[in-house]
Chain A
Amino acid sequence: MYNFKSGITQIDAVSGGFEAGTNFLILAPPMSLAEDLAYSLTRPLTGEYAIVLSTNDRAAEVVDAFKVMGVDKRYVGTIDAITKSSTPGITDTNRLMFVASPTDLTGIGIKFSKMVELIFDGDFSDGESGLFPPPVRFCVNSVSTLLMYRKLEILYQFLHVLTSKLKKIDGVGFYLLNKESFDEKTVSLIKQLMTGVIEVKVEQNVQYLRIQGIKSLSPDWLKFSVQKGQVVITP
């Protein structure tokens, strides 16, 4: 079974990383480093691929964020739910696909399937090929925005389909949710779809994370920072 390295030495040394076919909710307050954390965990290592569903940043911003981390952009795809509303004529490429708005779950589903298909067919990375079957990291930034546009029950069903598909292809998924904007019922419903939860908190300007759902890992809070896209655990 393939293991996706988190890139965090302390976690990878103990657990080996994230198992293939798992989904993690990143539960964080606003103004935290949750997005940086999510992108860092989604960063594809050699031979891997990443797909980001962005309802907050434009595709160009997502690509830039990965560039800062030193990632080869040929292995990163973005489904952008922002740009098309202001630029209706924008056209899809293999790695940059656009949907009308975060309400358009039909479009999001189609573009996700198309990207996965392109990755499996070897048509994603300009002729370059990674591992096969391809390990795919997937990030939804963010579930919070999707929840603002669609009803909880609908989004639950939609995420159920997405997380199942990711399991089927032995990928790993990270789903960002702002824990302060939604009630407990909403959060616990979304949690049901996940293998684990990566929780973030901020105390006196210090960021902490803890990971629940990986057996060998301690559920203790760890201080962390993000430097050039790399998550660093500090003592």
Chain B
Amino acid sequence: MISTGINGIDDMLGGGIPKGSWVLYSMEPGVDGQLFTISTLFSALKKGLSCLVVLPHTTFDIFKHDAAAKRGCPLEIFNKKVVFIDAIDRERIEKSSRKRKEVQKKWEARIEKLCIENEVDVVFIYVDLINDDLGLDGALSVANTAKTTSKTTVILEHLNLDGKRCIERFIKKYTFDLIISISSPFRSHPHFDYFTLMHTSWSTVPKRSVPFVVTEGNVVPYIPKIVVTGPAQSGKSTFITSASDFGVSIDRRGTTGDPTTVAMDFGWLNWKNFDITLYGTPGEPRFDPIVPNLLNHAMGVVLLVDATKPQALERARYHIQLIKEKHLPMVVAANKADLPKTMSDQQIRKELQLGEDIPIFFISATRKSDVSLVLESLVDFITKFTY
């Protein structure tokens, strides 16, 4: 496997890209998706693989400088050789003949020669200008010559000016093993980009869009909203506090004397290269009108129940109903499992009418490791969930 250089995506793909694959990073205009290609290049070099980068739109000097600026370290730190075909080579090739077929042959010969001479393992091609010069079929034929062995991986980057139609054409007409689309809704404010796993030939990951942020030269998948909900006193605030690198809980003393959340809890954490924002709902029924609003735009839900309080499960059913209406992926955390007289998995499942596909974790929300396990399961669930 070759790592994409982006842990979250590697996890979704089952470890990375199998050697010998055809990969397309399809970027919509305006999205800073170049870091996807650069991340994969750095990752291949780090693994000791020999690489060829085809850059018809720029010179290798500019590319090396930009890649170093984006990643914070130069390509030269890797011992493995990286060779380039750049804009100057393109000019030479273009000038060599006026006939498109001959130009195509020149491209193919040049790429093949460099691949064989340098025993190239991974080829990165920015296809746009070759597409301009030779048409899409010609450009892909050129790319195909890079596959000098069955183990050679070819990664194409292109600017998608044609939207979904273009991707559909790529999926239907050409045999890519992986297509990742990198897009932006271009809302003026707030601004965010997202990637979508459009197609994989080796795994059954459903089509899934995940927002991402760029932090210190790394693409970091970002889950903007996971909601932690459940009955009052089930431990939602404690769960969020244990999970978060930084958080805010808005608690006041309730009628029973125990602290209760008013409005909501917030928490932020970076977990396995995912940036995650947690929202905790208040559990008291008087706050019920705001809970559906808090579930809006959530990507997943942790339903927290008190494993020692069977009488609170009826209230949890109300929360499950809300989650089902929104078609959200959910995991259940049965809290206070370290206390005596806890309910069994079977009992909770029966009372809440949960199918076997929804995992129940017996945890103590005060233990960071327990909380992490729940989030790990939910993130996994979110990335594979079929809506």
Contacts and interface: CB of A to CB of B under 8 A. Distances in A.
B29 A116 contact: no
Contacts of B87: 100-101, 103
Contacts of A162: 29
Nearest to B188: A169
Contacts of A133: 188-189
B-side interface size class: 20 to 34
A175 to B, nearest CB: 16
Interface of A: 84-85, 88-89, 91, 100-101, 103-107, 109-110, 112-114, 116-117, 120-121, 133, 150-151, 154, 157-158, 160-162, 165, 168-169
B246 interface: no
A109 B159 CA distance: 10
Residue from the set B30, B87, B162, B189 with the largest chain A CB neighbour count within 10 Å: B30
Contacts of A117: 191
B62 A103 contact: no
Nearest to A100: B58
Interface of B: 27, 29-32, 34, 56-59, 61-65, 69, 87, 126, 128-129, 132, 159, 161-162, 184, 186-189, 191
Given A91-B69, A105-B159, A120-B188, A110 B32 contact: yes
A203 B161 CA distance: 40
Majority DSSP secondary structure for residues of A touching B:
helix
B159 A106 contact: yes
A114 B32 contact: yes
Nearest to A156: B161
Contact of B186 (A91, A104, A113): A113
Nearest to B157: A106
A190 B32 CA distance: 26
A106 B69 CA distance: 17
Given A157-B161, A161-B161, A100 B59 contact: yes
Contacts of B29: 105-106, 109, 158, 161-162
A137 to B, nearest CB: 15
A225 B56 CA distance: 42
A170 to B, nearest CB: 8
Contact of A157 (B63, B126, B162, B189): B162
Given A89-B65, A101-B57, 5 more contacts: A85-B62, A120-B188, A150-B132, A158-B161, A169-B188
B186 A154 contact: no
A103 B186 contact: no
A120 B30 contact: no
Contacts of A107: 57
Given A150-B132, A157-B162, A85 B59 contact: yes
